[in-house]
């Protein structure tokens, strides 16, 4: 049981800086300002379900995609490291305020012109805000690393990913449900400060990803 908790904790440490629910909260508040309470809760639940589904697909189908396109694990590590480091760099030195992505702008324009309620759960809340390219690359790479041999028992490796993704989805759901309270408590400045801290962690993780990939390439050539 202790090993399961350790594995879930490790998974959360890796995924949460990339998922960064607080930036999704800021985005959600900007896009859902005209929605009623029930509609907000529905969008929050749907976004959480979509995030769980995306991460599960990335974990279980990622290796098949890599095999189909002939992408090696070191290649994925280097590419994933570049993506993660780039996302971290953008969070550390943002050109635009939190929640002002191209997808968010398009969805905001759609909300202004639409006669009926627009679904914001999948784009941009689930993807790319929470389960974006960096998160997916990290999950696929982690899945490949885990299957190639780690110190956890087989049952932990089968259960831990599902529970980790479930915990991330629940954290996102709670964050979106409590978005108003979080914004009042932390404020925009607080969210930006936390995002910059997460960005620094992501730059470090991305660089380490690249180093591991390069070392693996060197090891394979020897």
pLDDT tens per residue, range 35-83: 889 999 999 999 999 999 999 999 999 888 888 999 888 888 899 899 9
Q: What is the pLDDT of residue 52?
A: 98
Distance CA 33, CA 43 (A): 12
Phi/psi of residue 169, nearest 5 degrees: -65, -40
Average pLDDT over every residue of 178-190: 89
**Rg, Å, the chain Cα set:** 18
Of 160, 142, 164, nearest to 1 by C-alpha is 160
C-beta atoms surrounding 107 within 10 Å: 21
Give the single-character DSSP code of 134: H
Compute the C-alpha angle 139/67/214, nearest 5°. Answer: 65
Q: For tokens 């956890």, name the residue.
A: 152
pLDDT of res. 98? 56
Q: Which of 138, 30, 160, 42 is nearest to 88 (CA)?
A: 138
Cβ atoms of 25 and 176 closer than 8 Å: yes
Task: Determine the pLDDT at residue 44.
Answer: 96
- pTM beyond 0.85: the answer is yes
Is 124 in a helix, a strand, or coil? Answer: helix
Name the pLDDT band for 171 (thresholds 50, 70, 90).
very high
Is pLDDT of 222 > 80? no
State the Cα–Cα distance between residues 136 and 119, nearest whole angstrom. 22
The confidence score (pLDDT) of residue 121 equals: 94
Band of the pLDDT at 177, cuts 50, 70, 90?
very high
Please identify which residue in the block is written with the tokens 């932990």. 156
Mean of the pLDDT values across residues 119-143? Answer: 91
Residue 102: the pLDDT is: 65
Res 30 pLDDT > 70: yes
């Amino acid at each position: 049981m202790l090993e399961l908790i350790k594995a879930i904790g490790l998974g959360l440490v890796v995924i949460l800086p990339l998922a960064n629910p607080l930036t999704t909260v800021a985005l959600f508040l900007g896009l859902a300002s005209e929605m009623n309470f029930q509609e907000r809760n529905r969008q929050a639940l749907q976004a959480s379900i979509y995030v769980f589904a995306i991460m599960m697909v990335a974990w279980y189908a990622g290796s098949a995609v890599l095999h189909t396109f002939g992408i090696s694990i070191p290649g994925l590590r280097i590419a994933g490291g570049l993506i993660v480091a780039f996302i971290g760099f953008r969070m550390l030195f943002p050109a635009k305020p939190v929640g002002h992505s191209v997808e968010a702008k398009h969805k905001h324009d759609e909300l202004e012109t639409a006669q009926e309620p627009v679904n914001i759960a999948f784009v941009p809340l689930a993807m790319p805000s929470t389960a974006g390219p960096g998160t997916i690359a990290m999950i696929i790479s982690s899945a490949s690393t885990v299957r190639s041999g780690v110190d956890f028992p087989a049952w932990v490796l089968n259960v831990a990913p599902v529970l980790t993704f479930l915990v991330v989805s629940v954290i996102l759901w709670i964050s979106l449900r409590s978005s108003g309270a979080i914004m009042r408590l932390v404020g925009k400045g607080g969210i930006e400060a936390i995002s910059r801290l997460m960005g620094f962690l992501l730059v470090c993780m991305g660089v380490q990803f690249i180093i591991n990939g390069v070392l693996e390439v060197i090891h394979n050539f020897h």
